[in-house]
Chains A and B, each alone.
Chain A
Amino acid sequence: MKGPIAWAEVQAAAWFLTPALTVVLLFLFLPAFAAWILSLTDFDLYTFAEPTTLRWVGLRNYLALLQDGRFWHALQNTLIFVGLGGLLTLSLALAAALGIHQRFVRWKAFWRTVYFAPVVTSLVAVAIVWRYILHARYGLANRVFAGLGLPPIDWLGDPQVALPSLILMAVWKNYGYDLLIFLAALQAIPEELYDAARMDGAGVWQQFRYVTLPALRPMMALAGLITANGYLQVFAEPYVMTQGGPLDATLTLVLLLYEQGFRWWRLGYAAALAFVLFVLMLGVSWMLWRIQRRP
């Protein structure tokens, strides 16, 4: 009795799983594996015309990458984006979450919706809007600066300022996401912990330092993980707003990958770059995962 029914179930499971698993296997696992193979070849523009010229080059793409000044520059920019952008995004999200969480604040859902709105929007569209907000002459930012009596800034044209400008826009776009995570975490802290801290004579700052912060740490690591992985793959902002310029000041790893792969058609080289970035992402994830797990 048990046998045939179980067999029918296995058969049904196969039917139910095959479509989705085929997609995942064919369009996720297979290309990921193929990317590794690709990174060990000299696949370039000529390979499209004459596939037989494809050669196995071992780790030479990786060695070339290490000697490529633009790669190091893109890596530096990307790490600044992750470090500075991540820190700013998390801090602003935390501050806003603490603000909304204050007991006297009404319309909590309203504030949450407002701050979250940029998260759901198309990155390309808001990048275009921000490009004009940061326009040196006709931009809203400099108009506000003029109103405050401050000198205008060439937000996207000055190599010193361009990367921070993009980070500013990314913070605006993303802080609402981390805010939601923090808000949920804050609501989960039991009120008794604060009562106990007050009984022991803890002030507002001490309550924050010894009750709120420790309780938030796992969620902070999670938010940090999500934000850092997003910023490591920054692409649309520089693509739309600066094309990586001026003077490569906003060149990021994925932008370089796109240029090498789909503009110069150096697919082998670009695949090596993709793997370096992948390892970087795994490293950052592992680091933050450990922070989250630490008792």
Chain B
Amino acid sequence: MNYRWIRLGKRLLGYASLSLLAVWTLLPFGWMVAVSLMPSGAASTYPVPLWPDAPTLAQYTALFAQFHMARYLANSLLLAGSITLGALLLNAMAGYAFAMLHFRGKDALLRLLLMALLIPMHITILPLFLMLRAVGLINTYLGVILPNLASVLGIFLMYQFMRTLPLSLIEAARMDGASEFQIFWRVALPLSRPMLVSVGMLTFLGSWNDFLWPLVVLTQHTHYTLPVALANLAGEHIQDIELMMAGSVVTLMPVLLLFLVLQRFYIPVLFRSGLAG
């Protein structure tokens, strides 16, 4: 009898703690959405309202009508999209060469690439800025895309995955007279689809959320990505709480939804990706 009560208490306590943590984790998102649905000035009253009396989409209309939100959204989609596609192709090609082809110096090259994982972003941005300035790529989409077009981590993930593909399939294709590129494109790539989705998602989320480099290289607002535009907007519209919350919703929702749908592809590669952080 006594034992059962202890067990019940333990369970209640466990669920209560987990729920409390979940509330703390989700509350900022909930509050963000709630305030974004308030009319201007409603959040700056005391006591602070927790929920809009009459929900309105006025902030969102203002964002798109007056603050060029559609442009920033398009910029973010374009940049994250092209970086993801380009990096997937380049990383997969390099991964294929490391996994399936024999050539001298492979191990040395891999070790060199592993060393590159240690180089942090903040070291490279200063010279990178000068380099791109010299060739006129400041404030261009290309200036954001080019440095991100391949990643050491992506190469390694593709390499590790492709190493597990059955060699017999590759050999068979070679016997049939397929060129290396045909083998890569028709055999290796389709078989690597799970890892392509994982690396693609890692790359997309990374570039969507990237801040420091776009902030440095994009100098005019026509080219801003959402995070850069948002940080800029926060400087000018510091008092417009409701507007800023709507901007945050627009920036957060696409990646949150993408994550919810594709998390089973994303989570497994995270552990290895952390090494690059």
Contacts and interface: CB of A to CB of B under 8 A. Distances in A.
B191 interface: no
Interface of A: 6, 8-10, 12-17, 19-21, 23-24, 27-32, 34-35, 38, 92, 96, 99-100, 102, 104-105, 111, 113-118, 120-126, 128-133, 135, 137-140, 143, 146, 172, 176-177, 180-181, 184, 222-223, 226, 229-230, 233, 235-236, 239-240, 254, 257-258, 261-262, 267, 270-271, 274-275, 277-278, 281-282, 285
Contact of B102 (A6, A115, A230): A6
Contacts of A118: 25, 28
A28 B125 CA distance: 9
A105 B28 contact: no
A227 to B, nearest CB: 9
A181 B149 CA distance: 28
A275 to B, nearest CB: 7
B194 interface: no
Contacts, number: 264
Contacts of B129: 261-262
B277 A229 contact: yes
A257 B212 CA distance: 11
B64 interface: no
A118 B29 CA distance: 9
Contact of A122 (B45, B47, B252): B252
B31 A275 contact: no
Nearest to B219: A262
A180 B21 contact: no
Contact of A31 (B46, B47, B103, B123): B123
Nearest to B34: A140
A33 to B, nearest CB: 8
Given A12-B180, A236-B211, A128 B234 contact: yes
A35 B128 CA distance: 9
Contact of A27 (B97, B146, B180): B146
A140 B48 contact: yes
A138 B242 CA distance: 12
B166 interface: no
Contacts of A181: 271, 274
17 contacts: A10-B101, A12-B101, A17-B93, A20-B90, A21-B94, A21-B150, A113-B260, A120-B255, A122-B226, A125-B227, A129-B248, A135-B241, A140-B27, A140-B48, A177-B274, A236-B212, A281-B120
